[in-house]
Structures are given as C-alpha cells and as structure tokens.
Amino acid sequence: MDIGWEEFKVEASAQLENDRAFIFRGQGNSEWVLSTTIHRTGQLPTHSDFLIYFDSILPFVQEPIESWDGSRRNLDDPFQLAEFLAFLQHNGFPTPLLDWTFSPYIAAYFAFEGINHFAPQYEKVSIYSFNQAEWLKIYKQTYDWKEEEAHVTLLNPTYRGNPKQMLQQGTFLFTNQANVEGHIQHNEKHEGQFLNKYEISVKERAKVFKDLNAMNITAMQLAPSMESVCKMAYDRICTNLQMGLSPNEFKTLLESMSANNEIQPTPKNDAAD
C-alpha cells in the first residue's frame, strides 16, 4: 500500500493500541521480499542443507566468537541456541532469523537509514506490520530446527548478552522458508489478515528523520559506538536538506543557511608568518 509518512503514523498509532500484538520491520527497497540473511545467500536449496547449517556451520563459528567474548554456550539447549542465533544476527553473521521490532518508528529508522540522501537508488522504502498475536492463535510454532514442515515461528530470546536487541526493542521470526512474505500471504484468508506492507517515498526521508530525532531514535541510541555518532551527525545534517540536491544546490543552501546564522562557518586556521 502506497502511503505518506503522516498517514503511516496514524496507522502505526492505531496498531500500537493493541498491546504489542503487532511487530514491525523496515526495508530500504520496497521491491525486496521478506527473507532471512542465510536464505539470501542461496546456500539452502534443500532441507538437508538447512540441517548442515546447524550441524556444522554454527559449531564452527561458535569457537571464535566465544574466544572473543568469553562466553560458554550449550547449543543443544534450545534457549541458548536461540540466544546465540540472535547474537549472530545482530553482529552480521547470516542466520535463519528475520529481525523485527515492537516499535514502528524504529522500523522506519531502519527503512530509511541506508538510503543515499543525495543520490537515492530506490523510489520507495517499505515498512511491514505483522499481527503476531493472530498468527500465534492459528499456526503451529516450532523451535526444533530439524522440523521439515514449512513454518514461520515467533522467537523472542532474552536480551542478556545482546544489548542491541534490547535497545532496538527487537524480536525475531525463525523460519525454514526462503520467502517468508509468500508463506505468510499464502496462509491468509484475506489480504492483510496478518501482514501489511506500507510503501513510503524516499523523498520523505528528511521529514521522517526530523520526527525520529525528536523521539531520540538515532544510530547512537540503537547501536552505541563511534560509528553511530558519525551516522547520527550525518542524519541530522540530512534532515535540513531535500532529497537529491546537486553539489551546486547544496553549496547554495549552505551559503543561505550561513547567511541566516543557521550554521556557523568553520574559522580558517591561518598559520603565523
């Protein structure tokens, strides 16, 4: 559904009234489908390949990770396995998990965050809302990674050892399906029963980030680091700029802002003779 940012906020507010019944996910290109990072590699064409991931790949990566963070994990314990998968997901290693958040505004941040403000490659971002409460009432949830039957399972491991998950109000879908979106829609009796997809123009990026900054939803808040400080500063600059300015237009705008005392030029550091 094509929608403007102001209209999306109305939709989101209504869904938030349902006591965390809905979860949300943002993607930087509306043409992308919902698919986990490990399925996007194309290396799991069969169920036996899916099993290899758990039997061989996870134990292989477990040792270097634990040598770094000093933890000891028993991956035969389903709770510790879930925590480990969530940890890997939030640290860049491919998993059969799909990130979601209980906040539609955090989802909006991740939808718009990766857009090139000066030369956008895509026309629209997408923000999904998923009615997890209704899905749980109807469909079997399995936490057995050996399960062959197609499934999309809600997974909400503890935040311990994974502060990013806490800061991002994160939760996950665990699945053995390459096309999560297709699987959910196939099981809907009517369009939008479980899953809604909102498509918003990338041209609204500045407006979106102004609102998110006011909510303190920034890179620094969601994943504190020096890199995030730089991202936050960049995003705040972009909130004052319309999408896709040319270098000359950007220069003219900066000169105008400086003349109006909206920004102060950096003084030149003249060397003494």
Query: Is the CB of residue 165 less than 8 Å from the CB of residue 82?
Result: no
Q: Give the alpha-carbon dihedral of 9, 169, 98, 122, to 10 degrees.
A: 40
The percentage of the chain sitting over the pLDDT mark of 90, rounded to a whole number, equals: 70
Dihedral sign, Cα of residue 204, residue 103, residue 128, residue 146: positive
Task: Give residue 267's pLDDT.
Answer: 46
* Residue 260 confidence class, pLDDT cut points 50, 70, 90: confident
* Residue 268 confidence class, pLDDT cut points 50, 70, 90: very low
Is the pLDDT at 56 greater than 80? The verdict is: yes
- Tokens describing residue 143: 């936490």
CA 157 to the chain's CA centroid = 17
Q: Using DSSP bridges, classify how beta strands 170-175 and 124-131 pair: parallel, antiparallel or unpaired.
A: unpaired
Residue that is written with structure tokens 């940012």 in the block: 5
The percentage of the chain sitting over the pLDDT mark of 70, rounded to a whole number, equals: 94
Task: Give residue 205's pLDDT.
Answer: 95
Return the domain boundaries, the chain: 5-204
Task: Give residue 266's pLDDT.
Answer: 46
User: How many whole angstroms separate alpha carbon 158 and alpha carbon 138?
Assistant: 24
Chain segment 103-114, per-residue pLDDT in tens: 999 999 999 999
More confident residue, 161 or 47: 47
Task: Give residue 186's pLDDT.
Answer: 96
Average pLDDT over residues 197-217: 95
CA proximity to 104, closest of 198, 187, 41: 198
* Residue 237 confidence class, pLDDT cut points 50, 70, 90: confident
User: How many whole angstroms separate alpha carbon 167 and alpha carbon 218?
Assistant: 11
Q: Using DSSP bridges, classify how beta strands 22-27 and 152-155 pair: parallel, antiparallel or unpaired.
A: unpaired
Average pLDDT over residues 135-155: 94
Chain segment 77-116, per-residue pLDDT in tens: 999 999 999 999 988 999 999 999 999 999 999 999 999 9
Task: Give residue 272's pLDDT.
Answer: 43
Task: Give residue 69's pLDDT.
Answer: 80
Q: Using DSSP bridges, classify how beta strands 97-101 and 152-155 pair: parallel, antiparallel or unpaired.
A: unpaired
* Residue 252 confidence class, pLDDT cut points 50, 70, 90: confident
User: How many whole angstroms separate alpha carbon 270 and alpha carbon 204?
Assistant: 41
Helices 5-16, 205-214: inter-axial angle, 10-degree rounding: 40
- For the chain, give the number of residues: 273
Task: Give residue 273's pLDDT.
Answer: 41
Chain segment 25-46, per-residue pLDDT in tens: 999 999 999 999 999 999 888 9
Task: Give residue 262's pLDDT.
Answer: 61
CA proximity to 85, closest of 136, 24, 145: 145
User: How many whole angstroms separate alpha carbon 112 and alpha carbon 109?
Assistant: 5
Is the pLDDT at 265 greater than 70? The verdict is: no
